[in-house]
Structure 1
Amino acid sequence: MSRLTIVALAVLFTLSGGCQAPNDDHAEAQLVRVPYQSTFDQSDREYFVYLPKGYHEDDTTKWPVMLFLHGNGERGNGKNELDYTLAHGPIYEAWVQKRDLPFIIIGPQLHMHGRDSVIGYLKNRSPENYLKRLATGVPEREADFATTVHMSGRPADENYPYESYGPVVGWETVEQDLIDMLDQTLKNYKTDKSRVYLSGLSYGGFGTWYLGSKHPDRFAAINPIVGWGHKELMKPLAEHRMPIWCYAGGRDLVIQKQYFYPGLNELERLGHMARFTIEADMGHDVWKRVYAGQDIYDWLLSHRK
């Protein structure tokens, strides 16, 4: 039995300074906090569920579902630090930028795993920098990361710096929590079970490859961004003919593009193909362009199980 505890009535979540005004044209959109107990460490935590505009207007409509896995910088305790997960990705687009994205979006937060003791940007962040939904208008978008790296091609490299699941203590540690969240969302909301998608950036990109490979029957399509897929993960994806669109940054020195090729070539050897886009002019923050655009949402919605 799932250890997630679902409240009978979802409580509308409002950000500081961002309460929904009666005249807001997205007033029906909601960001809900859902409590659960983690199977990893039995801690009491919460995750976000975004309900799109129009969700409550028609009881017959079944909504597509997207599970979004954030990057390393948005880890936290799943309570008062959960707001950090609004920094990037589809919930940022839908909630903070008030875009009308037609998905129910699940937004979990990865455990800290002690990373704040070794990673400066985790140690030094502040709640004052939370991104907030404004009562009127939207906040200015963050500038792209600066890079002085010249654009160039790189040969494929199978000398991965990480194990098959990606960097240390990533989303693989809470695999069961993620599946439970997905199951409970499908059960408790008006969802289209044939249109369930998985997307993630950086650490979440690796998590997308991992979770998609371990549970290929659960998703209609996956979208890993700046996280490569290890060769060992490709067989289940090929067998299930999983639609995949992955992205790399041409100037990314964090997750370098040469490590994408071995897994993609293995996928092709197994008789399947992924769509692979290199944003040659960008560094690690390729997700800003991907999620701010429209192509990825249209592509996901074009697939169903």
Structure 2
Amino acid sequence: MVWLHGDGERGETLDDLDYILKNGPLYEAWIQKRDLPFIIVAPQLPLFGRDKTGPDYLVNRTRAEIPQRLTEGVPPHTADAPARVIAGEMVGAVAAGTVAELGPDISYSTWDVVDPDVITVLDTVLADYQVDRSRVYMTGVSLGGFGTWHYASQYPDYFAAILPVVGYGTEAQAEAIAEAAIPVWAFSGGRDPVVQSQYFFAAMNKLEEMGNEIRFTTEQDMFHDVWNRVYAREDIYDWLLSHTKN
């Protein structure tokens, strides 16, 4: 499983790698000690200077935000925390207010900038570890959700299924994914002011129109941090594993 983090978990140093433990399957496997049956490939997107000129959640982040693995037991799960609105700085950082300016047209460096590196890492894992090549999956949140659509459309031969969370695709990406018959299960938050559910419709409708297997789940009571609930589920992992690449 390739896991793409969101904008707030970027990093440049070895110490910065810990930020990608904040959520997603790595949080579930390492912090919550769940026995997930995957090799989790988790690249980290460089900061590209956003820690100096970017939003507050990058400029002023601290290591206190990083969850800690306990010697005994596990910490309270983030899925049990009250739903919350992501800071206004994040809304401004992601979009200036139109659909066209969201997602693939974000003005700052995103996952597409490093796709040769990500694919090289994936190729290395496939070559050096005992991997079922028919069961390679990708999932990501927010910026990583957009990245998931990008990689599946640009490198469709790799992936048996994808699971983008609060990140939508374009119709062109959906066409490429449908042509490769890659199943898609996408998630949005019904109260998300950052990546609104309606922005998913064009790509999801295109996938359905082309006969591709899709699921689209909106957690109506959740804001942008819907990922806390999504990755705590069991059915998403079962769904991924139920798909193989021919």
Q: Which residue of 1 aligns with 2:58?
A: 122
Aligned amino acid, residue 100 of structure 1: D
TM-score, normalised via structure 1 length? 0.72
Quote the offset at 1:168 in angstroms. 3.0
Give the number of the structure with larger relative contact order, counting CA–CA contacts within 8 Å between residues 6 or more apart.
2
Matched with 1:111 is 46
Please give the per-residue CA displacement for 1:7-52, whole angstroms capped at 9, x wherever unaligned: xxxxxxxxxxxxxxxxxxxxxxxxxxxxxxxxxxxxxxxxxxxxxx
Tell me what 1:68 maps to. Answer: 3
Is the 1:97–1:139 contact (alpha carbons within 8 Å) kept by the matching residues of 2? yes
1:145 aligns with 2:83: yes
Q: How many residues align?
A: 231
What is the match of residue 237 of structure 1? 177
List alignment gaps of at least 5 residues for structure 1: 1-65, 148-157
Name which of structure 1's ranges 221-230 and 70-79 shifts more when overlaid on structure 2: 70-79
Q: Which residue of 2 aligns with 1:217?
A: 157
CA RMSD of aligned residues (A): 1.8
Distance 1:198 1:160 in 2: 24
Contact 2:22 2:65 in 1 (8 A): no
Hey, which of these two has a bigger chunk of strand by percent?
1
Distance 1:85 1:171, change over 3 A: same
Provide closer, same or farther for how the CA distance between residues 128 and 146 of structure 1 changes in structure 2, counting only shifts above 3 A: closer
Q: TM-score of the superposition, structure 2-length normalised?
A: 0.89
Secondary structure, counterpart of 2:48 in structure 1: coil
Contact 1:167 1:203 in 2 (8 A): no
When residues 191 and 163 of structure 1 are mapped into structure 2, their CA distance, relative to the original with a 3 A threshold, is closer
Alignment of 1:49-198 (within 5 A): 66-116=1-51, 117-142=53-78, 143-147=81-85, 159-162=99-102, 164=104, 168-198=108-138
- In the alignment, structure 1 residue 257 sits paired with structure 2 residue 197: yes
- Opposite residue 270 of structure 1, the aligned amino acid is M
Which ranges in structure 2 are unaligned for 5 or more consecutive residues? 86-97
The code of the aligned residue for 2:44 comes to Q
1:167 Cα deviation from its structure 2 partner: 6.1
2:57 alignment partner AA: Y
In the alignment, is the contact (CA less than 8 A) between 1:166 and 1:203 conserved in 2?
no
**How many Å apart are 1:129 and its aligned residue?**
3.1
Q: Which has the higher helix share?
A: 2
Question: Which entry has the higher C-alpha Rg, 1 or 2?
Answer: 1
Do 1:144 and 1:285's aligned partners in 2 also have CA atoms closer than 8 Å? no
Give the secondary-structure state (helix, strand or coil) at the position aligned to 1:164.
helix
Deviation at 1:247, TM superposition (A): 0.5
Matching of residues 5-44 of structure 1 within 5 Å: none
Q: CA 1:258/1:230 → structure 2, altered by over 3 Å: closer, same or farther? A: same
Query: Of residues 209, 231, 235 in structure 2, which corresponds to 1:269?
Result: 209
User: What is the identity, as a one-letter code, of the residue corresponding to 2:196?
Assistant: Q
AA partner of residue 71 (structure 2): A
SS in 1 for 2:157: helix
Q: Given residue 220 of structure 1, which amino acid in structure 2 is its aligned partner?
A: A
Q: In 1, distance between residues paired with 2:138 and 2:55?
A: 27
Structure 1 residues 293 and 252: alpha-carbon distance in aligned structure 2, compared to 1, 3 A threshold: same
> CA 1:114–1:145 in structure 2 vs 1: closer, same or farther (change >3 Å)?
farther
Report the AA paired with residue 174 of structure 1. V
1:285 maps to 225
2-side partners of 1:167 and 1:200: how far apart? Answer: 19
Shift of residue 298, structure 1, vs aligned partner: 0.3
The one-letter amino acid paired with 1:124 is: N
* SS of match in other structure, 1:246: strand
Query: Contact between 1:165 and 1:210, CA under 8 Å: does it hold in 2?
Result: no
- What is the aligned-residue identity percentage? 50
Is the 8 Å Cα contact of residues 104 and 146 (structure 2) preserved in structure 1? no
